[in-house]
Chains A and B, each alone.
Chain A
């Protein structure tokens, strides 16, 4: 039997808790029970923090009892990607190199969620250090897609996406460096948002590629995603790249409709996608037109170079960000005869193959004599992409594309071919290079009856329009939903 609050959205749960119709503790217990029962198959959680969850749920209930405001996420269960640091709780990045490390501090976003009454259930699986598109690169085993256990949930935030899709929590946090929120959201049939670079503090997010990383929400509805983004957004004095501009009200206009909005479908990102994915985008566009938007095709030529530029810039930054895992201060230490040997043994044992591949790529791209040809050139392409988007945004309020070129693929299908894996992020990467916001909204089922995601892109700080369009896409989307593995 399905428990009473499992499957409800975040806003509904918060309302029930605030109006004392249900206690936050009951909500937490129901969700934790489902996780205990079903997650061993799915492997979406790396760590379930039951005691802390119950304690923070009780704290919410105590506030409600005293008549204090428990916050907009009162009693809402939240799952955290395990690259967000949590004081006293292991934070692994799904890597062996962080074995045994317990952070002495908590990420800003996690503090904000707790302050808003959110109840953290645990830490979710990911591709090691967020490098991957299927969650198969986790050193703790892959997460599976909750609609078809033989398929991947996408990645790198596959654990968070699968947990939300599987009703383990109505909300989760992920991080998106090249599509790591949007692509798994698409593959798991839920909503995922990558905000404007700098809108959400990165303090406490273990860096993959600092100039591209951004934290964002997963939810099963556009409104819940907006609710969570509203909670985590805002300036943080501990992050120099955090924007000082205030955060607009993301929810009040969300049902404002798309009448008169100009929406462009990115031609370059339609080419070569799976047939049913392509037709879903066309249907979504028709639905938006029917709701009053002006939809046209637009060419954004520079997005074609996104993938190449990304695979120089992201590994370059990663090679430096991941240098600190050297066996000296924390995490795995494999002692050698001398210092160099200790470095080499610790890193050889601690990092998986994809992480090593990217460290080597990045080290090479920054080497003296190659810098200009690789990293320097990639930065120029990045500027080109920004300019190309800017030109498109002179004519359009938001842009539209598929989130991923295919629906969820089978486990192991791309594991042996890194390049084909990299290609699954071809639609999402350009946004990260530009620093713009983008999100994925589910739109029916495609190949193998797996979910399709529509990507909505907006210029920097264009979240309000983006969410309005997303809400319109959601309203117009087919009602068909596939059964979960446990249903």
Chain B
């Protein structure tokens, strides 16, 4: 395993300093049922309706491991190049109302997946994965009254145990990340891997992926780590970047003013854009880990692991390669960025299929990563056939670029085909003779401009296109107008 690359100048956020970041990502597994009981694993139900004696930890109840959760955990391990091995469960003991048993069943000494790595797609940096272990989720607390939705100062708290016992895999990276951007790139690549492996739906907004960031700072060139703080409650890529940058800045300012960073757990306040102390190392829980006596060791056989390997679909790296092969050459830059985006959003299958139907790869990639990406929630409204038809219409100038974008947006909204949408918007391509008539009309109305254009003032083509657009009420194709103008000038 290669050592992480030395930090680059581009990562320097405050001259002379660098960040050291390690991430703990909690991923909810998309199993049908919970980790230790038969309750449904789903989001958005009435509070306390998906519960039973086991996930409520009622006296006398016992856990039984869900085999499909183990399989999805193994998929994650294999996708992150981990060693998958025999593992055991431990109890992590601490009191909190949303933990039904006041201990969490987790893996401590021997995790199911250890020592893997993940390659960042843009910088090609290797980030070491220390472990990816199985654990149960807690319930969800809502603190009512007081400030900031936190327990301190709240009037009362409500607890929903529907989430209690939902299977999680916690993926722990080594402290190999050196900037907030790298952290973002890591999480979005990890998210793409988790979705592609079939383990997770990757929905950060629903809490399927939750990130804790361990952040410290050190002077550039220093080999030693600074004192770290762990930031909790990072539920979007935007929060992740903002919180890390705020926290690193805070630490540098502390050190510069002669103070010391205190090791502590901090809470990210999204509204105020600040991190605030939750508890210091001295107040840290003693979790009193010990082996969970109600469960037996997990010993996945080599045959089973091999079977699982066979069930994992194409992972993002392979997907990017497949997309790159659609192009003559891909160098770093916009196409690569678009490929990474397309794979990250799971739009690569759409692009590849459209190209197979004859669409232009560049156009397909551009429309997918812009218009489709901006309305990804309606992706199911878009068939490959409709998408590739639209791309062909644009490519053959039956629609202008602007029109194609509008049509695509409507297609995503309504699920209709491109011809139908174009027709309803009045975007049927103008007949060449009508277009020429419109161009002639504009030329005769603007003789001075035409003279200057004829003398070689090319920038005036914009003026003429605009006029033709106006006359045609936006139905004209700019490219076609340009070529008519050029032919008339000659």
Binding site for B on A (CB under 8 A): 83-85, 91, 93, 98, 101, 103-105, 107, 202-207, 209-211, 237-241, 316-317, 319-320, 323-324, 326, 328-330, 339, 343, 363, 366-368, 371, 375
Q: Look across to chain A and name the residue whose beta carbon is closest to the beta carbon of B103.
A: A320
Q: Look across to chain B and name the residue whose beta carbon is closest to the beta carbon of A369.
A: B286
In the complex, what's the smallest C-beta–C-beta distance from B412 to chain A, in angstroms?
46
List, in ascending order, chain B residues with CB within 8 A of A91's CB: 59-60
In the complex, what's the smallest C-beta–C-beta distance from B434 to chain A, in angstroms?
75
Q: Are B290 and A241 in contact (CB under 8 A)?
A: no
List, in ascending order, chain A residues with CB within 8 A of B91's CB: 320
Q: A105-B53, A320-B290 given as contacts; is B62 within 8 A of A239 (CB)?
A: yes
Q: Are B101 and A241 in contact (CB under 8 A)?
A: no
What 8 A-B pairs come out closest when comparing CB atoms?
A323-B102, A366-B288, A211-B293, A210-B293, A206-B59, A85-B60, A204-B60, A206-B60
Measured between alpha carbons, how far is A103 from B293 in the docked complex, in Å?
23
List, in ascending order, chain A residues with CB within 8 A of B64's CB: 237-240
List, in ascending order, chain B residues with CB within 8 A of A375's CB: 290
Whether, in the assembled complex, B226 has its beta carbon less than 8 Å from a beta carbon of chain A, the answer is no
Q: Look across to chain B and name the residue whose beta carbon is closest to the beta carbon of A364.
A: B288
In the complex, what's the smallest C-beta–C-beta distance from B282 to chain A, in angstroms?
13
List, in ascending order, chain B residues with CB within 8 A of A104's CB: 53, 58
Whether, in the assembled complex, B233 has its beta carbon less than 8 Å from a beta carbon of chain A, the answer is no
Whether, in the assembled complex, B295 has its beta carbon less than 8 Å from a beta carbon of chain A, the answer is yes
Q: Look across to chain B and name the residue whose beta carbon is closest to the beta carbon of A343.
A: B95
- A-B residue pairs in contact (CB < 8 Å), sample of 28: A84-B60, A85-B59, A91-B59, A93-B59, A101-B59, A103-B60, A105-B61, A202-B62, A203-B61, A203-B62, A238-B62, A238-B64, A240-B63, A240-B295, A241-B293, A241-B295, A319-B93, A320-B288, A323-B95, A324-B57, A324-B101, A326-B95, A326-B97, A326-B102, A339-B97, A339-B151, A367-B286, A375-B290
Whether, in the assembled complex, B302 has its beta carbon less than 8 Å from a beta carbon of chain A, the answer is no
In the complex, what's the smallest C-beta–C-beta distance from B416 to chain A, in angstroms?
51
Q: Are A210 and B100 in contact (CB under 8 A)?
A: no
List, in ascending order, chain A residues with CB within 8 A of B57's CB: 324
Whether, in the assembled complex, B308 has its beta carbon less than 8 Å from a beta carbon of chain A, the answer is no
Q: Are B294 and A366 in contact (CB under 8 A)?
A: no
Q: Are B290 and A240 in contact (CB under 8 A)?
A: no
Q: Among the listed B53, B93, B97, B159, which residue makes an inter-chain contact with A366, where contact means beta carbons less than 8 Å apart?
A: B93
The residue in B62, B93, B289 that gathers the most chain A C-beta atoms within 10 A of its C-beta is B62
Measured between alpha carbons, how far is A462 from B184 in the docked complex, in Å?
59
Q: Look across to chain A and name the residue whose beta carbon is closest to the beta carbon of B97.
A: A328
Q: Are A240 and B294 in contact (CB under 8 A)?
A: yes
B90-120 to A contact mask, C-beta < 8 Å, 1/0? 0101010100111100000000000000000
Q: A240-B295, A367-B286, A375-B290 given as contacts; is B58 within 8 A of A323 (CB)?
A: no
B368-406 to A contact mask, C-beta < 8 Å, 1/0? 000000000000000000000000000000000000000
List, in ascending order, chain A residues with CB within 8 A of B295's CB: 240-241
Q: Among the listed B59, B63, B289, B290, which residue makes an inter-chain contact with A324, where contact means beta carbons less than 8 Å apart?
A: B59
In the complex, what's the smallest C-beta–C-beta distance from B228 to chain A, in angstroms?
19
B289-304 to A contact mask, C-beta < 8 Å, 1/0? 1100111100000000
Q: Look across to chain B and name the residue whose beta carbon is closest to the beta carbon of A342.
A: B97
Q: How big is the B interface, by class? A: 20 to 34
Q: Are A329 and B60 in contact (CB under 8 A)?
A: no
Whether, in the assembled complex, B14 has its beta carbon less than 8 Å from a beta carbon of chain A, the answer is no
Measured between alpha carbons, how far is A30 from B418 in the docked complex, in Å?
85
Whether, in the assembled complex, B65 has its beta carbon less than 8 Å from a beta carbon of chain A, the answer is yes
Q: Are B93 and A323 in contact (CB under 8 A)?
A: yes
Q: Are B62 and A240 in contact (CB under 8 A)?
A: yes
List, in ascending order, chain B residues with CB within 8 A of A329's CB: 56, 100
Measured between alpha carbons, how far is A323 from B290 in the docked complex, in Å?
14
List, in ascending order, chain B residues with CB within 8 A of A339's CB: 97, 151, 157
In the complex, what's the smallest C-beta–C-beta distance from A231 to chain B, in angstroms?
19
List, in ascending order, chain A residues with CB within 8 A of B95's CB: 323, 326, 343
In the complex, what's the smallest C-beta–C-beta distance from B438 to chain A, in angstroms?
75
List, in ascending order, chain B residues with CB within 8 A of A324's CB: 57, 59, 100-102
Q: Among the listed A101, A323, A343, which residue makes an inter-chain contact with B103, where contact means beta carbons less than 8 Å apart?
A: A323
In the complex, what's the smallest C-beta–C-beta distance from A80 to chain B, in angstroms?
12
In the complex, what's the smallest C-beta–C-beta distance from A116 to chain B, in angstroms?
20
List, in ascending order, chain B residues with CB within 8 A of A84's CB: 60
Measured between alpha carbons, how far is A204 from B286 in the docked complex, in Å?
29
Measured between alpha carbons, how far is A203 from B62 in the docked complex, in Å?
6
Measured between alpha carbons, how far is A199 from B163 in the docked complex, in Å?
33
Which of chain B's residues 431-485 have a Cβ closer than 8 Å to chain A?
none
The residue in A98, A323, A375 that gathers the most chain B C-beta atoms within 10 A of its C-beta is A323
List, in ascending order, chain A residues with CB within 8 A of B294's CB: 207, 210, 240-241
In the complex, what's the smallest C-beta–C-beta distance from A89 to chain B, in angstroms?
13
Q: Look across to chain B and name the residue whose beta carbon is closest to the beta carbon of A105.
A: B53
Q: A320-B91, A343-B95 given as contacts; is B296 within 8 A of A241 (CB)?
A: yes
Q: Look across to chain B and name the residue whose beta carbon is closest to the beta carbon of A202.
A: B62
Q: Look across to chain A and name the residue whose beta carbon is closest to the beta carbon of B63.
A: A240
Q: Are A207 and B60 in contact (CB under 8 A)?
A: yes
Q: Look across to chain A and name the residue whose beta carbon is closest to the beta carbon of B93.
A: A320
Q: A323-B95, A326-B95 given as contacts; is B58 within 8 A of A105 (CB)?
A: yes
Q: Are A240 and B296 in contact (CB under 8 A)?
A: yes
Q: Look across to chain A and name the residue whose beta carbon is closest to the beta carbon of B287.
A: A368
List, in ascending order, chain B residues with CB within 8 A of A207's CB: 59-60, 294
Measured between alpha carbons, how far is A211 from B62 in the docked complex, in Å?
12
Q: Are B58 and A98 in contact (CB under 8 A)?
A: no
In the complex, what's the smallest C-beta–C-beta distance from A317 to chain B, in angstroms?
6
Q: Are B63 and A363 in contact (CB under 8 A)?
A: no
Q: Look across to chain A and name the residue whose beta carbon is closest to the beta carbon of B295.
A: A240
List, in ascending order, chain A residues with CB within 8 A of B296's CB: 240-241
B58-97 to A contact mask, C-beta < 8 Å, 1/0? 1111111100000000000000000000000001010101
List, in ascending order, chain A residues with CB within 8 A of B61's CB: 105, 203-204
Measured between alpha carbons, how far is A255 from B53 in the docked complex, in Å?
42
Q: A85-B60, A91-B59, A239-B62 given as contacts; is B101 within 8 A of A367 (CB)?
A: no
Measured between alpha carbons, how far is A367 from B65 in the docked complex, in Å?
27
Q: Are A368 and B286 in contact (CB under 8 A)?
A: yes
